Structure 1
Amino acid sequence: LLVDGQEVHFSSPQAAQKSGIVEVHQELSLLPNMTVAENIWLAHEPLNRMAFVRRREIHARTQKLLDLFADTTRSSMQPDALVSTLSPDERQIVEILKALSLEPRIMILDEATASLDSRQVQRLFELMSQWKAQNRALVFVSHRMDEIFRVADRVTVLRSGKAVMSGLLKETNERELVSMMVESTVVARYIKHDEAAHKTAPIRVQVENLHTSVVREASFDLHDGELLGLGGLRGQGQNDILLALFGALPFTGNIILTDRQVHFTHPRQAMHAGLAYVPGDRGTEGLLPIRSILENLQLPSWQRYGVPLKLQAARQDATTMAQRLNIVMSSLNNPVSSLSGGNAQKVVLGKWLLRNPHVLLLDDPTKGVDVKAKEDFYKILSELKDAGAAILFYSSDDEELLGLCDRVLVLHDGQLQAELAGARLTRSDLVAASMGSQTA
């Protein structure tokens, strides 16, 4: 490794930071019970001559950093706010600002846009342009091709730990890059729409006048064998709908599940009724990182194997699911933290598929995963649809919604702004509805 032409050997991230190299991690490194300011300045707090922390200075400098993303979040973030009270996109912003506070010469951004909405992504790209003008070097790791072509000058493709291509971005194209990433040309990324099939299928879930602290008067149906999308800018109530259906968020209104009215007040009730929820934050909500892959795959299902535990049967079922989802691993006994982001997300999905759910609630399941893992997800979603599963699917990727879903419900300011299907299932209609256009 050469920095400024000199060979270096870093023994720790702190050693790299001293040389001006900082990373924005894909898996957030924030401490939830500390404030925004405390997280940003942790381990490099400004001190006075008596070695006391300059709290006023920290507050002022934190506010200056937060102002870089002003008007891009639903509420104004404050330096004294606990990180645990922030939304996923706000936490990602704090992670970026934490790295920026170190005034790096080289900044590595690992899937830094995965939790951000379109406005926040645009602001980040504007800031990246400013940092480039200040002669900072940026390494931007992303699986979103459109973003790479928007911000990068040069590109390197890694596959199985090896660099298989490196060169100027203007000398290649998206199809060529994707082909190099997955070892074969991807002809069709998405499953095809079948507009007629779900219309004649039974209604699995009927929602009437759903209210939460964010959502207002949401009403819709979800059919067996349908993939129904939730679109709109991040934070418009998509997550609330998924959590309310899964019994993890208080709500008012009516939910009818297969002709039976239900009001789940705990996820356990929803789970026993055949619902499954894949959360957007796998690190804190979907997995136990220090536990084994086997334990994580079987988290919702241990009771099925009796007392004493039939471990061999549990291991065989987990092995079969790992093979079905193409989870790349060396052993089920390894901690799930040893997996890549895409394979870890497959574990989150696989633990629920072992219960054969009738209704699958997905919160941005392909966020921050590689192209090959996305292909595997799309294939499994197609199989689940064909088997009659009802799927409610939120994605921050508009192209994914348009390519996968039979219908898309677009939320704006907590309300269902539009239902898009058939000829209206277009990017222009989706963007217009996301911005609150009444003509969408």
Structure 2
Amino acid sequence: MTSGAAVHDLTKRFGPVQALGGVTLDFPGGQVTALMGENGAGKSTLLKILTGDHQPTGGRITLEGQPLTLESPARARAAGIRIIPQEPEIIPYVSVAENVYAGALPTSAGRRLDRTELRRRVTADLDRLGFTGVLDPDLLGSQLTPAQRQLVEIMRAVTGEAKVVAFDEPTSSLSEHEVDALFRLIRRLRDQGTAVIYVSHRMQEIFQLADRIAVLRDGNLVGVQDARSTSVDELVRLMVGRDLSTMFTRRRADRGRLVLDVKDLTTEDVRNVNLQMHAGEVVGLAGLVGAGRSELALALAGDRPVLSGTVTLDGQRLRHGRPGEVIRAGLGLAPEERKAQALFLHRSIRDNSSLVVLERLRRLRFVSRAAERKLVQQYADRLRVRAPSIEHEVRKLSGGNQQKVVLARWLARKPKVLILDEPTRGIDVGAKAEIYQIIADLAEEGVALLVISSELPELLGLADRVVVMQNGRVTGELGHEDATEEAVLSLAMADDIAGVTPAGASS
């Protein structure tokens, strides 16, 4: 009997759009198969067919060598096919334990929930998966952080007998410690004979985990590479069909006038932060998870209470806790969680893009729809938003195009300062190059940009200088020539390093 799963000449059409064009690919048991490709390449469609969310237009699926029809997600789960989605689906008002075993809760006589058995199961599974101390089984779903929600989805997927487990961008919100636990779990699944499918845009993760790498482009399989013998350049060429070796090409000009002056800013999460930004400058903000980067961004945008300190934007001192005033003064924020914090997913590109400029489009008391459409179309064209029209729902766009809609909103506002928090998270390598070019163009136009990113090569490639945070405070600043990964990490872990006594030294 052949372990694992396979798809044979799999096709999928959505009306006139072909999402998959005859893909034949196996996912062997006991191996990690990485699935790579730009957003829109067909990865999500393939996973949704494997999990019963979509029905194929043509082709077939086999599991352990036998034909399999997956008419629903329940059928796929019963067959042993599981997926950890990029956007966790958590029941908010029940505990972690109840979320993990939803649909299979242990009951006692009278069909009541057996909480003693539930506690035994969840404790055993937390220990088995290496999540003890990381996840509190009694927390309500509504109390979970993005990282904890992701871990609940992972636990839910690997309970019971799983023959195929697919991970879709599982590390996007996890800390380093949580990532280590996840990687140990994936290797354990592989060693037990499970077929593992791993979807990620992070090359380092792919080469750490994968045995083989399958690349999709425009709905077609364009290559399967041995992870031990291929290269990043080869994978990029397969994914995008072009060379992206010059992704960071921004000309570094002399910085202009001072536009943002932050002095001794203190909130519940950050302490005594001082930061200056000049027109046309890209400042990188680095730090480990929990350093306070996003919290600082939200405070600058007026979305977090400020205890002390001042923020001056182009000579105007801003009042704290006034997001509308901050926007009018010329500061915009594209937040980390674009789907939850920045976008109205069921509204159109037009509605989302024009959100902060509607008062400029008013004629008497009414918004000029013609002017709105003209403005939004201008920025959709400039940013190359790929959609049938500006009336297309944002939820139906790829991650890269959703991020472009967020950027279009702020470009239409013409900000003096723009904060981009994790601007390329969950975005494929081709879309990343386009986002980088947008950042370069904005800097050329004189916009001051604060870029927060967990990907150090990205920060080092984009930024004129890098400001580093740890535990809510700034621990240092590095000019472009001095900013290396080692130097940034040293500052990001400054307190931890300072507390270490070298072997043989007296304390």
Rate the CA distance shift 1:420–1:313 in 2: closer, same or farther, 3 A: same
Q: Is the 8 A contact 2:417 2:448 kept in 1?
A: yes
Rate the CA distance shift 1:250–1:314 in 2: closer, same or farther, 3 A: same
1:41-83 Cα offsets, whole Å, 9 max, x none, are 32332223432222333344445555556599xxx54223233
What is the identity, as a one-letter code, of the residue corresponding to 2:269?
V
* CA–CA separation in structure 1 for the residues paired with 2:237 and 2:125: 39
Q: Is 1:197 the counterpart of 2:254 in the alignment?
A: yes
Alignment of 1:163-202 (within 5 A): 163-192=221-250, 194=252, 197-198=254-255, 201-202=256-257
* CA–CA separation in structure 2 for the residues paired with 1:69 and 1:300: 45
Rate the CA distance shift 1:228–1:85 in 2: closer, same or farther, 3 A: farther
Q: Is 1:266 the counterpart of 2:303 in the alignment?
A: no
What is the identity, as a one-letter code, of the residue corresponding to 1:402?
L
- 2:279 paired residue number: 224
Shift of 1:193: 6.7
Rate the CA distance shift 1:65–1:399 in 2: closer, same or farther, 3 A: farther
Rate the CA distance shift 1:315–1:408 in 2: closer, same or farther, 3 A: same
Q: Is the 8 A contact 1:341 1:368 kept in 2?
A: yes
- Gaps of at least 5 residues in structure 1 are none
- 1:10 paired residue number: 70
Rate the CA distance shift 1:130–1:204 in 2: closer, same or farther, 3 A: same
- 1:57 paired residue number: 117
Rate the CA distance shift 1:417–1:33 in 2: closer, same or farther, 3 A: farther
- Gaps of at least 5 residues in structure 2 are 1-60, 500-507
* CA–CA separation in structure 2 for the residues paired with 1:428 and 1:62: 40
Shift of 1:438: 5.0
Q: Equivalent of 1:156, from 208, 214, 218?
A: 214
Q: Is 1:303 the counterpart of 2:362 in the alignment?
A: no
* CA–CA separation in structure 2 for the residues paired with 1:105 and 1:98: 14
% of aligned pairs identical? 36
- 2:177 paired residue number: 119
Shift of 1:28: 2.5
- 1:283 paired residue number: 339
Q: Is the 8 A contact 1:277 1:361 kept in 2?
A: yes
Q: Relative to total residues, which structure has the larger strand share, 1 or 2? A: 2
Runs of 4+ in structure 1 displaced over 6 angstroms?
A: none
Alignment of 1:22-41 (within 5 A): 22-41=82-101
Alignment of 1:66-85 (within 5 A): 66=126, 68=129, 77-85=135-143
SS at match of 2:291: coil
- Give the number of aligned pairs: 433
Structure number with larger C-alpha Rg:
2
TM value normalised by structure 2: 0.81
Q: Equivalent of 2:448, from 384, 390, 402?
A: 390
Shift of 1:110: 0.8
- 2:267 paired residue number: 212
* CA–CA separation in structure 1 for the residues paired with 2:196 and 2:251: 39
Q: Is 1:367 the counterpart of 2:425 in the alignment?
A: yes
- 2:467 paired residue number: 409
What is the identity, as a one-letter code, of the residue corresponding to 1:176?
E
Q: Is 1:431 the counterpart of 2:489 in the alignment?
A: yes
What is the identity, as a one-letter code, of the residue corresponding to 1:217?
N
* CA–CA separation in structure 2 for the residues paired with 1:342 and 1:178: 16
Q: Is the 8 A contact 2:240 2:430 kept in 1?
A: yes
SS at match of 1:171: coil
SS at match of 1:249: coil
Q: Is the 8 A contact 2:460 2:480 kept in 1?
A: no
SS at match of 1:424: coil
1:370-395 Cα offsets, whole Å, 9 max, x none, are 11110110000000111111111111
